[in-house]
């Protein structure tokens, strides 16, 4: 049985959640698909293209954009490109430097393309590249559903939904109270944020840009979707960067 949980969290926004561990810690994994006004799909591809995922994507519409959200969320980009060869692949420069498939062609590169470059999906999904964040993350905003989508800028552990079809609970014995409850309001998150800062001026600029977005939901790659107090959660995690 597939461990992927597929759910429509808002009109035209679907998530694909499943177990995933990092350094022995269960953090969960998630891809997110947004149906664009033209009928195509924008896809943050961060989980395997299993049978259930492929079937749902083909039901929703043609994949037009395959997105790598930061330096480390690149493991499945090649698989998605092979399945959807007409789709454009866009990712940060740091991801391209790390990806094993050096033959994979990228149609857009955050960190190399000129600031303000448009990739064709901006009428539906806005983006903000965090050049001062260690993992070179990109935050995304889908205004019509008031949803912010991101990878490693914000965690909301434990990953309950992502482990809901797994035999594992998704919690960590002994250290669960520290990492297993790693949410945006926790003391640990603000310390994590500070540890990822490589350019405080750039961080302040980009944190304030995201704060200006009118979102009421946050979809993280790691942990549960934040449906309540999403803006407050973002501000709590990045309070030291806000004006």
**Domain boundaries along the sequence of the chain:** 5-241
In words, the CATH class of domain 5-241 is: alpha beta
What does the pLDDT look like over 161-173, one tens digit per residue? Answer: 999 998 876 776 5
pLDDT at 172: 63
Q: Are 155 and 222 in contact (CB under 8 A)?
A: yes
What does the pLDDT look like over 173-196, one tens digit per residue? Answer: 554 555 446 899 988 898 899 899
Q: Reduce the DSSP state of residue 217 to 3 states and report it.
A: strand
Least confident of 76-90, 108-122, 148-162, 171-185: 171-185
CA distance 74 to 95: 6
Mean pLDDT over the full length of the chain = 94
Structure tokens, 55: 């079937």
Q: Are 39 and 33 in contact (CB under 8 A)?
A: no
What does the pLDDT look like over 32-51, one tens digit per residue? Answer: 999 999 999 999 999 999 99
Give Rg (Cα) of the chain. Answer: 17
Q: Is the peptide bond before 176 cis (omega within 30 degrees of 0)?
A: no
Beta strands per DSSP E along the chain: 5-10, 13-18, 21-22, 25-26, 29-35, 41-44, 63-67, 88-92, 108-110, 126-129, 138-142, 147-150, 217-220
């Amino acid at each position: 049985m597939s461990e992927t949980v597929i759910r429509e969290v808002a009109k035209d926004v679907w998530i694909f959640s499943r177990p995933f561990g990092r350094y022995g810690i269960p953090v969960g994994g998630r891809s997110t698909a947004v149906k664009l006004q033209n009928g195509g799909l924008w896809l943050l591809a961060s989980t395997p293209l299993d049978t259930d995922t492929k079937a749902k994507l083909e039901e929703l519409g043609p994949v037009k954009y395959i997105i790598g959200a930061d330096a480390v969320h690149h493991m499945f980009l090649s698989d998605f490109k092979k399945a959807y060869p007409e789709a454009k692949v866009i990712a940060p420069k740091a991801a391209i430097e790390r990806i094993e498939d050096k033959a994979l062609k990228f149609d857009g590169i955050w960190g190399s393309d000129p600031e303000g470059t448009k990739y064709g999906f901006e009428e539906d999904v806005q983006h903000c590249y965090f050049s001062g964040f260690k993992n070179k993350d990109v935050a995304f905003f889908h205004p019509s559903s008031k949803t912010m989508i991101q990878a490693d800028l914000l965690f909301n552990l434990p990953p309950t939904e992502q482990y809901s079809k797994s035999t594992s609970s998704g919690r960590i014995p002994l250290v669960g109270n520290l990492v297993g409850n790693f949410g945006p309001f926790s003391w640990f998150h603000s310390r994590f944020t500070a540890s990822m800062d490589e350019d405080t001026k750039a961080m302040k600029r980009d944190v304030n840009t995201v704060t200006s977005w009118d979102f009421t939901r946050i979809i993280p790659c790691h942990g549960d979707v934040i449906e309540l107090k999403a803006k407050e959660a973002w501000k709590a995690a990045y309070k030291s960067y806000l004006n």
